[in-house]
Structures are given as C-alpha cells and as structure tokens.
Amino acid sequence: MTSGNNIESQYLELNSKSGWALLYQEIRAESAKFSNTHLEAVKPQNKALNRYRDVSPFDHSRIVLQRGSSDYINANLIKVEKANRQYILTQGPLPNTVAHFWLMVWEQKTKAVLMLNKLVEKKQEKCCQYWPQKIGPEHIMKLDDVGLTLEYLEHQDHSYYLTRILRLTDVNTGNSRDILQFHYTTWPDFGVPNSPTAFLEFLRKVRAAGVLETSVGPAVVHCSAGIGRSGTFCLVDSCLILIEKFGLNSVDVKEILLEMRRYRMGLIQTPEQLKFSYQAIIEGAKQLSQPSTVDKENCNSEVVVGNNVAESCDHSSDEDEPPPLPPPREDSLRRTNYVDRPLPTIPISASLSDFNYDDSDSIDEVQSPPSGPLPVLPGEDEDQSTADELEDESVQTSSPVSDKSDSANSHRDSVSPEDELRRRKRAERKEQLAAKVRDMKRRQMANEQWTQLKRSLFKPLAIAGAFAIGGGILAYIYFKS
C-alpha cells in the first residue's frame, strides 16, 4: 500500500465501486497458490474428527497432541510475527473430540477460549457443548481418555456475550488451571456482528484480561469451522496492534490476511466479513487516537491496548460527581403540620331515623344540653333556635309551674277555671320545650355518629357519593348490620 493510501481511503474506494466481492476473490485466488498440504486430516482414522470435509488443518502448522489415543485435532497455530501475536484456530468440538480439545488447551498452556458461535444455528448443531451443564463440583466433566477433569465455576452475562470460568485439572499430577471462556452469542454464521462498536468492546475486554499476551499460551479461538468468524477476530486484533506500532498508513489488511491464511485455510469466508474487518479496524484506530473514549468503568485502573499499558483515567473533578439523590418519598408522608379541615356536612338525603340513638332521655336530662350552639341539619327550617334559648325559656316557665303545682296541692278547691287554663297551657309549653330539646339532642347525636362514620371510612368522598346516590340506604345497612 502506498503512502497516503491508508485503510480508510481504501475502504471508501472499495465501497464506492462495490469492490468487496472482487477483493475477496483476489484473496481466494492468491491463497489457492499456496503449496501447503493437509495429509493428516484426510487419513481414514482422522476423517471422523473433522466437522467439515472441506476445512482441514495444514500439516506444517497443525496442533499435535502429546498424549491420548490420537495426536490429531483440527486446529492450527496462527502467527502474525510483526504484531507479536499467536492464536490457535480450531473447529467447534464434536462429541468425540471434546477430550482432544481440552487436552490441547492443557498442553498449550492456554489461558482463554474465545467462542464466537452458538451451539445451534439455523436449526443445525454448530458445536457440541464442551463444558459441564451446570456449575458446581457435583457436575464435574471427566475426560478419562486424556486424564483430565473439568469443573464449571462461574458465569457472568454481559448482554451480547458471556464469560465463564472453568477449572481444568490433570488427574495424574493434581495440578489445576482456571480457564476463562469468552462466548460471543450474537455473531451469526456467515455474517457479522451488529456493529463494530460492540465487537471492539468485546475485543477490549478480551485484551484487558491479558489472555492474548505472549506471557501465556496462545488463546484458542473457534466458531463452527474455525475459519470465518475466527479469522475476522484475529485479523482485526492483529491489524490494530500494527497500527498502534507503525501507524495507519503502514498496514495492508489484504497482505496480513494472506499471511494468516498460510497457517490455516479459508480465513474469512465472505466479502461481508472482509468489509466488516475494515470497518472494525478503522473504528478501532480512531479509538486508539482518542483515549477519552475509554469507558469510566475502567478508569483508575490500567487499560491494555495492544502490548502497551495506557495511563489510568482521572475523573476526580467536581463535574463528574453524581447529582444528589432526591429525598425519600416517605419523608413527604410524615408531615406533622397538616391542616385538620372540617368534614363535609351530612347530605340532605340522609334520614335522621337511620342513625342509632337512645330515646330514653328524661326531661331532667334534656334540660341540661351541652354548651354552645348545636349543629343544625341542612333543610330543617322549622326551628333554628339554640339550646340556650330553649333552656332560658324552660327556666322562665318552670318556676310558675312548680309554684302552681304546690298551690294546687294545698288549695285544690279554690282554683278558678282561668287559673286551671293557664296551668294547662304552661304544662303544654313545657312539654313542647322538652320535645324540642329532645329533638336537638337527637340531631346532635346524629351529627356525631355521622362524623365518626366519615372519619372511619377509608374513602370518605366515595361514601359521600354513595349517600348522594343511594340516599340513606347505605347508612341504614351500615348501622343496623
């Protein structure tokens, strides 16, 4: 690639000419010229160990197992010398190759397995589940033919990918290693991730775990065949390292892909995956030049980019402090300075006869009503007198009646008809006054009972509406039940 013709300008040119299919065919044609052999893969005893007949490991770069019944596994060691990267690309394990898969992980001192496919895609099995079904020591997977056991320790869900921690133990020596599995669950077969941003976040998490460094064994990367999605991941990772080391103009994506294809056939299976690789590399290069794009969850800690450790972020300024939380809702419900408003009056349709009262009040009891004016029911216009006025009138008339009664006992014979008439009138007035006082008493008791009723009910407005509609029926049922 000539100077000034960087990846981004090449991408724009290919996009404008719809040249992705042509570029992909050029890569396939040049790869076909390689003289690499794959004789081990086609041996009769190894044919059943291959998931696909047309995807075989090259003999010169295949992983050779050191123990077990067979030394063959469909896997290759990929080297990108300039980027100082190594990957083991392999197929999704078959039921009869699960033990070989974990033996390879153990012998190669691999720290992580990167799984880029689902177990079942388009109603077809793309990979056998090669880890225990459940977490816990009671679900340990025993691989007797290779002398290993596998325990499922931990699981975390990160929306579009999962992480698992698996403990691999050598039965003979008792030594154990914890293997980290990154499982990308939203990358379709023969397709690409939803966005370069999500893929780059996944790549950044893998890098931050330190599992791609030269200090540990090469990471095992697999999809179904171990060439399409797996090749895309390795191409993007390697190119971003080279861009960081040598600059954007020094990286030729096509040449790097051809170099990787010398170690394993068919890496990157479609023009769409090739186009996505360019997109992810361009976006990743922009993120390398903008360290502020690192999310806050990694601030105050080391951020691994390529083989270098970036400085930690510092977000201690006041602008980044979170706003204060709103006061708890319950505080507004504990006010003590509320206004005790009077309750509404009894509806006009309510009947006094529907309320309970004691009708055994004597004349003497009625003549001492409570002080202060008593409430009057709306609509009762026949008498607006207060208890004090009635009591005064009663007191004024009680003395003559009493005197006349005493006089009648001593001088019964001398009473004139006029005096007798006046006495009867006074008695009638006294009885009328007592009746009025008893009526006032009943009204007061009715008002008190109505007030208690409204305060005891949970929804006074609803009850008031019921009274307005149904009249005194509801009150009658309430107090008579």
Q: Is the pLDDT of residue 170 over 50?
A: yes
**Is 83 assigned a ligand-binding role in the annotation?**
no
pLDDT band at 464 (very low <50, low <70, confident <90, very high): low
217 vs 125: CA distance, rounded Å: 29
Q: What is the pLDDT of residues 391-448, one digit of tens each?
A: 444 444 444 444 444 444 444 455 577 777 888 888 888 888 888 888 888 888 877 7
pTM of the model: 0.61
Q: Specify the pLDDT at position 365.
A: 39
Cβ-contact 437, 390 below 8 angstroms: yes
The backbone torsions φ and ψ at residue 354, rounded to the nearest 5 degrees and listed phi first, read -85, -10
* CA-based torsion, 207, 208, 213, 219: positive or negative: negative
- pLDDT attached to residue 190: 80
Mean pLDDT across the chain, nearest whole number?
Answer: 77
189 assigned binding-site residue: yes
What integer is the mean pLDDT of 33-39?
Answer: 95
Decide: 40 and 57 in contact? Cβ < 8 Å: yes
Please indicate if the annotation marks 191 as binding a ligand. no
pLDDT confidence of residue 29? 96
Architecture of the domain defined by 7-312: Alpha-Beta Complex (3.90)
Both tokens of 88, joined, read 């083991």
Choose the most confident range, by mean pLDDT, from 145-159, 309-323, 427-441. 145-159
Average pLDDT over residues 141-150: 96
Q: Is 224 annotated as a binding residue?
A: yes
> What does the pLDDT look like over 254-291, one tens digit per residue?
999 999 999 999 999 999 999 999 999 999 999 877 65
Q: Are 446 and 355 in contact (CB under 8 A)?
A: yes
Residue 452 known to bind ligand? no
From the candidates 127, 128, 223, 234, which is the catalytic residue?
A: 223
pLDDT of residue 480: 59
Confidence of residue 6 (pLDDT cuts 50, 70, 90): confident
pLDDT value at residue 460 = 53
Query: Tens digit of pLDDT for each residue in 177-195?
Result: 999 999 999 998 888 888 8
Specify whether the CB–CB gap between 94 and 49 falls below 8 A.
yes
Confidence of residue 154 (pLDDT cuts 50, 70, 90): very high
- Encode pLDDT of 191-244 as tens digits: 888 889 999 999 999 999 999 999 999 999 999 999 999 999 999 999 999 999
Looking at residue 447, what is its pLDDT?
A: 78
Annotated domain spans of the chain? 7-312, 352-480
Residue type (1 letter), 70: S
Q: For residues 374 and 295, what is the distance between their CA atoms, to the nearest angstrom?
A: 74
Question: Is residue 464 annotated as involved in ligand binding?
Answer: no
d(CA 276, CA 94): 29
> What integer is the mean pLDDT of 104-108?
98
Pair of tokens at residue 43: 């041996």
Whether 223 sits among the annotated catalytic residues: the reply is: yes
Question: Which of 17-21, 206-210, 477-481 is the most confident on average?
Answer: 206-210
Question: Across-strand partners of 124?
Answer: 121
- Collect all residues with Cβ–Cβ distance below 8 Å to 3 and sequence separation of at least 6: 249
Model confidence at 159: pLDDT above 70: yes
